Amino acid sequence: MDMRGLSMFISDIRKAATSKESEQSRIDKELAKIRAKFKESGKLTGYDRKKYICKLLYMFMLGYEIDFGHMEAVNLISSDKYSEKHIGYLACTLLLNENHELLTLITNSIKSDLISNKEHFQCLALTAIANVGGKEFAEAMAQDVQKIVLNRETKAIVRKKSALCLLRLYRKYPEILTPEAIVEPVLELLGGVDFGVVNCLASLLLGFLSKDAAPFASCVGKCIRVLSKIILSKDYTNDYVYYGVPAPWLQIKLFRILQHYPMPTDGALKNQITSVLNKIITASERIRSMDKSRTPSRNNSVNSVLIEAINLCIHYDKDRDLMNMAANILGRFITDTKDTNLRYLGLAAMSRLAFCSEGDSMEHVRKHQQTIFLSLKDADISIRKRALDLLFSMCDKINAGEIVGELLEYLTIADFNIREDLVLKIAILSEKFAIEYAWYVDVILNIISQAGDFVSDDVYHRVVQIVTNNEDIQKHSADLVFKAVQSSAAHEVAVKVAGYILGEFGYYIADFPDSGPMQQLNALHSKYPFVSNQTRSILMNTYIKFYNMYDNPALREKVVRIFEENKKHLDAEIQQRATEYLSLASNIKEDTVNTVLENMPMYTIKQSSILANMQKAQAEVTDKNVWHEKEAMREAAAEELRAQQQVHEQMEMAAAAPPPEEEPDLLMGADLGPGPAAPAKEPEVDPLDAMFAPAPAAPAPAAAAAPAPDLGGGLDDLLGGPAPAAAPRQPAAPASVMDDIFGAPAPAAAAPAANAGFGGLFTPPKALDEAQLADVKTKFRSLLMSDKGVLFEDANLQVGVKLEFHGPNGRAIVYFGNKTAGSSITGLASTCTAPGGGCRIAANSVAPMVAPKQQVQQVMNMECQDIFNQSPQMNLEFECDGTKMKFSVDFPLVVSKFIEPYKMATKEQFFNAWRSTQCTPNPPESVVFSTAAPIDVAANIQGLTAGFRLHVLRGVDNNQDNFVGCGQWISKAQPPIPVLINVESNLSAQAIRLTVKTPSQALAKALQPLLKTALGERAAREA
């Protein structure tokens, strides 16, 4: 029905369009009129209500805000007239979003329209459901829509709309449907006679397959039969013929469905699909030769089906003749200079063809290499991107040099919107097919100089890792970066790379007159004012490395002056580094400086982060692309093979390497002869030990072979103290500040192991003898009073731990040191499981091999979730000299580790807190126990302060041997719980009375035995 008032209003708006003020005036006048009419809605007819809603919709589409009229639209949906219901649905679809509160008012109306027997009402309801959305709305409608799809009596038009509506809901909220439950009904409908319905069901099936293809594997036969019916039997009506091609959209979808599955093993189905593909490919060639005047629409319909058929041939990769025919067609496509769409599809399909093994696929691709190079310079950026993808796919060891060279040449003229992708692909190809890594370093520095703004941190991190792990290219790399940083136009990324490489390997070129230490420092520092604070932080690391590496007074004076200038820098990171490095350079002993500034160790072999990030970006699509998955799997397999080869090479080098002339002394010079061992002086531990890797120190004196003495407290090599002498490139274990800068975790590579006193098994493993059982129990007690110690030690392996805690979170670094002089430890595995739900542990994997006199490390992150009484289980397994060890130990993580000190200045404050703290029972229970040795009150106080992190007050009563402690226990599950303890000592009777007061009885019961054990063990050990 024509609405005259609406037509006149639209005409008025068009006439007023020349002036914004005139249009606004006309809109305001009409809004006021409509608002007045709606206030008397009882007098409005359905026609008037529909007319005014249409006017509001027109104003809404012009960009004006509509804040009324929604209820009138809702009322129209309830009408029995199709024209009024249509306008109501249209208004709700446009005016209501998925979070609108009025959606609940139309839910019942939509449900009633869905189950009605009027197909037009059902179609309107399905359209509204698909367009409005909203999770609650979708959950309320999904089952009804699914029933309409599967109902045998549903009309074709309704089934098509319901299938597409269900697809929309599944894509947005996949959790509201269970596709596995409707496999059979959907596949039964897929074999229907109405190609329109089958087309919509194929779209729905593709949506299901994008999440999980396994449940619908039986659809392969259905799809092949439908294709055979269309292509071979020609059983279709003219209604579905588009420019001479029968049901092209259905064919395309069926071919895409088949690409999710391998070629069928059933002989009949296999012959059918082969015949279908053969006929499509041969027919397209015949049509091309006979029909020279095809219209663009006919070309598009024929080529779209042909491309999907070729994609299926490439996916199957079985028939040699078909593959060769497909390759020839794609070669013709990419040389077509008239049809850009055809060239785009040809380049995309040929990049997949490059992965095939059947036929002469790669030879066909290589024949068009020059054409692909020309496509890089095409005016259409989409063609340029597809050409880049194809070159990336077809690159191998034969043509890698030519392709990378062409890409580097193109990089100088490439558009900005393709440069980042181009840089990533050049970096991946140069690493993947590098015959020698020196060429790879040359390529990376080339792309940094040409397109430094587009070089991501992943590329920078990767070149640093490769140079660090390959000693034969370190001199070449140092020379290259020094020349690069001398240029006045050196990019900041080049300065980063130069800062790292010269700081680690600058000594290779320091003896040449033009690249001496002072020249290196001047070249780097000339760029200091022009780079970001992150790069300045890296340069600060380089300067302190120079200070330690070269005995050059002028250089050292300049480095100290630079640190002095940056002590008050506005950036806190630079200020902190300058202050700490100045302290290192001025006040700390030389052996400590060497330890802190040890060269970076080799990085752990792992997949390239550049490749991983590129695959992740490709995977982020609405419907999963089967080709992206296949390419990612191939790349991952190739990357894993390369990593295995590098590990194998490193193991062979480690096995073939001669032992050092003077081996590191694991026992720090302790006398192992029959006489008593002289106590080793405990070295000074610097606060920076946790930030930097250890460096070479003076050689330790030789020790005779004898039973190992007690090593309690000798963790200096693994936990930050002096290390034995080593070659300049000897890797170190503890994490350094450079790891944080370069974004890589501290590697699990081998590092020199000196003496380490490790301690700590509590649950006796079966593999230990009685002497070891007694020793590990003692060491576990010592770990209650300390955050570093030994977990396990035998003749071959030392396992040490260093703990740190902040609130409910903790971090442990576990060190595995090989004590032997000539045998590697292999098959090393370590896992840690927490009992119950009190604490949670997440640990990374440990390197499976430890070379002689070396060590690796494992990092664990811990979280306290609730009170727990048992220590986590740590499972260890390794093999050395043909002996396999496998046992479990208790990891020294106890509930007391999550206590934070609560400082109280006076005893009055403490006793006020004691009286105000409620507990059950009240007063709290005390425990009295005897000690095996005279009580050392000072040692007990020190242990509770360091191990239990309590704030201790002494002299709170007349007995000076009594003391109290206060803190608060912190977890994720509940607010901080105060912890107060009272320790009363009777020195003459060698007895202690311990009282723990806390609002949580469970916490008191968990802490009391730990405190008792710690105090008793401390007294016994001090005896």
pLDDT band at 707 (very low <50, low <70, confident <90, very high): very low
Q: Are 1007 and 989 in contact (CB under 8 A)?
A: no
Mean pLDDT, to the nearest integer, of 740-766?
Answer: 35
Q: Does residue 608 carry a pLDDT above 80?
A: no
- Considering only CA atoms, which of 181, 123, 115 is closest in space to residue 153? 115
State what percent of residues in the chain have pLDDT above 90. 30
d(CA 884, CA 51) in angstroms, rounded, equals 87
List phi, psi (to 5°) of 170. -70, -40
Gap between the Cα atoms of 654 and 645, Å rounded: 14
Distance from C-alpha of 646 to C-alpha of 749, rounded to nearest angstrom: 13
C-alpha closest to that of 741 among 594, 553, 573 = 573
Checking if the pLDDT of 434 tops 90, the result is no
Over the range 687-713, which residues count as b (16 or more CB within 10 Å of their CB) and which as e? ebbbbbbbbbbebbeebeeeebbebbb
Q: What are phi and psi of 759, to 5 degrees?
A: -150, 150
* Close Cβ partners of 829 (under 8 Å, ≥ 6 residues apart): 846, 848, 875, 876, 877, 878
Distance (Å, whole) CA 504 – CA 496:
13
Question: Is 722's pLDDT higher than 80?
Answer: no
Give the model's pLDDT for residue 289: 62
CA–CA distances in Å: residue 119 to residues 161, 162, 198, 603: 11, 11, 19, 66
Nearest Cα neighbor of 791 from 708, 875, 723 is 875
CA distances, 92 to each of 88, 132, 318 (Å): 6, 8, 53
Class of residue 238 by CB neighbours under 10 A (exposed 0-12, middle 13-18, buried 19+): exposed
DSSP state of 962: -
pLDDT interval class at 617 (50, 70, 90):
low
**pLDDT mean over 214-223:** 91
Residue 382: pLDDT band by 50, 70, 90 thresholds? very high
Q: How far apart are CA 477 and CA 481, in angstroms?
A: 6
More confidently predicted of 918 and 711:
918
Tell me the per-residue pLDDT of 2-40, one tens digit each, with 9 for 90 and over: 678 889 999 988 988 788 889 999 999 999 999 998 888
Element (H, E) at 229: helix 219-231
pLDDT band, residue 668 (cuts 50/70/90): very low
Write out pLDDT tens, residues 966-977: 999 898 878 889
Contact indicator for 980, 997 with CB cutoff of 8 Å: yes
φ, ψ of residue 870 to 5 degrees: the values are: -115, 145
**C-beta separation of 695 from 600 below 8 A:** no
**CA angle (674, 678, 680) in 5-degree steps:** 135
CA distance 222 to 184: 11
Q: Which residues of 611-635 are buried (b: 16+ CB within 10 A; e: fewer)?
A: bbebbeeeeeeeeeebbeeebbeeb
pLDDT higher than 50, residue 741: no
Residue with tokens 């703290």: 917
Q: Is the dihedral of CA 483, 489, 494, 500 positive or negative?
A: positive
* Other beta carbons within 10 Å of 13: 18
CA distances for 905 relative to 469, 908, 944, 995, angstroms? 54, 9, 18, 21
Give the closest residue to 858 by CA, choosing from 838, 839, 878, 835. 878
Task: Find all residues with CB under 8 Å of 827, minimum gap 6, and list them.
Answer: 848, 877, 878, 879, 884
User: What pLDDT shows up at residue 496?
Assistant: 93
**CB proximity list for 1003: less than 8 A, separation 6 or greater:** 867, 895, 969, 977, 979
Q: Which two tokens stand for residue 859?
A: 């990092």
Q: Please, which pLDDT band fits residue 635 given cuts at 50, 70 and 90?
A: low
Q: In this predicted structure, what is the pLDDT of residue 359?
A: 55
Residue 906 CA, distance from chain mean position:
50
CB 888 within 8 A of CB 877: no
- CA atoms of 470 and 590, how far apart (whole Å): 29
For β-strands 951-954 and 963-969, DSSP reports them as antiparallel
Q: Are strands 991-997 and 926-930 parallel, antiparallel or unpaired?
A: antiparallel
pLDDT score of 287 more than 80: no
Question: 923: pLDDT confidence band, cut at 50, 70 and 90?
Answer: confident
pLDDT on residue 936: 84
DSSP 3-state of 926: strand
Question: For residues 346 and 210, what is the distance between their CA atoms, to the nearest angstrom?
Answer: 24
Label residue 589 by pLDDT band (50, 70, 90): low
Q: Tell which phi-psi region holds residue 990, choosing left (phi > 0), alpha (psi between -120 and 50) or beta.
A: left
What phi, psi does 852 have (nearest 5°)?
Answer: -60, 140
Residue 761 has pLDDT above 50, yes or no: no
pTM for the full model?
A: 0.57
Please give the torsion angle defined by the CA atoms of residues 320, 325, 331 and 336, in that order, rounded to the nearest 10 degrees: -160
Torsion of CA 416, 418, 423, 429, to 10 degrees: -160
pLDDT of residue 507: 92
The residue ranking higher by pLDDT, 464 or 702, is 464
479 exposure class (CB count in 10 Å sphere: 0-12, 13-18, 19+): middle
Residues 6+ apart with CB under 8 A from 12: 26
* pLDDT(497) > 90: yes
CA–CA distance, 716 with 736 (Å, rounded to integer): 16
Give the model's pLDDT for residue 306. Answer: 92
How high is the mean pLDDT of the chain?
80
Question: Which residue in 903, 864, 904 sits closest to 1003, CA to CA?
Answer: 864
Greater model confidence, 31 or 785: 31
pLDDT of residue 290: 62
- Are the beta carbons of 53 and 72 closer than 8 angstroms? yes
User: What's the full length of the chain, in residues?
Assistant: 1023
d(CA 428, CA 104) in angstroms, rounded, equals 53
Q: Looking at this protein, which amino acid is placed at residue 172?
A: K
The most confident of the ranges 129-138, 353-362, 732-741 is 129-138
Q: What backbone phi and psi angles, to 5 degrees, belong to 756?
A: -135, 120
Tell me, what's the pLDDT at 767? 63
- Return the pLDDT at 166: 93
CA-closest candidate to residue 725, choices 575, 595, 582, 535: 595
Contact between residue 164 and residue 200 where contact means Cβ atoms under 8 Å apart:
yes
Ranking 118-127, 297-306, 723-732, 1002-1011 by mean pLDDT, the lowest is 723-732
pLDDT at 296: 81
Q: Are 970 and 898 in contact (CB under 8 A)?
A: yes
Average pLDDT over residues 933-944: 83
Confidence of residue 734 (pLDDT cuts 50, 70, 90): very low
Confidence of residue 914 (pLDDT cuts 50, 70, 90): confident
Q: What is the pLDDT of residues 71-87, one digit of tens each?
A: 888 889 988 899 999 99
* Residue-level pLDDT at 721: 37
Decide which of 125 and 672 is more confident.
125
Q: Write down the pLDDT at residue 777.
A: 76
For the segment 160-205, what is each residue's pLDDT rounded down to a tens digit? Answer: 999 999 999 999 999 988 888 888 999 999 888 899 999 999 999 9
Instruction: Give the mean model confidence (pLDDT) for residues 579-587.
Output: 85
What span, in angstroms and rounded, lies between the C-alpha atoms of 629 and 352?
Answer: 12
Question: What is the arithmetic mean of pLDDT over 482-510?
Answer: 92
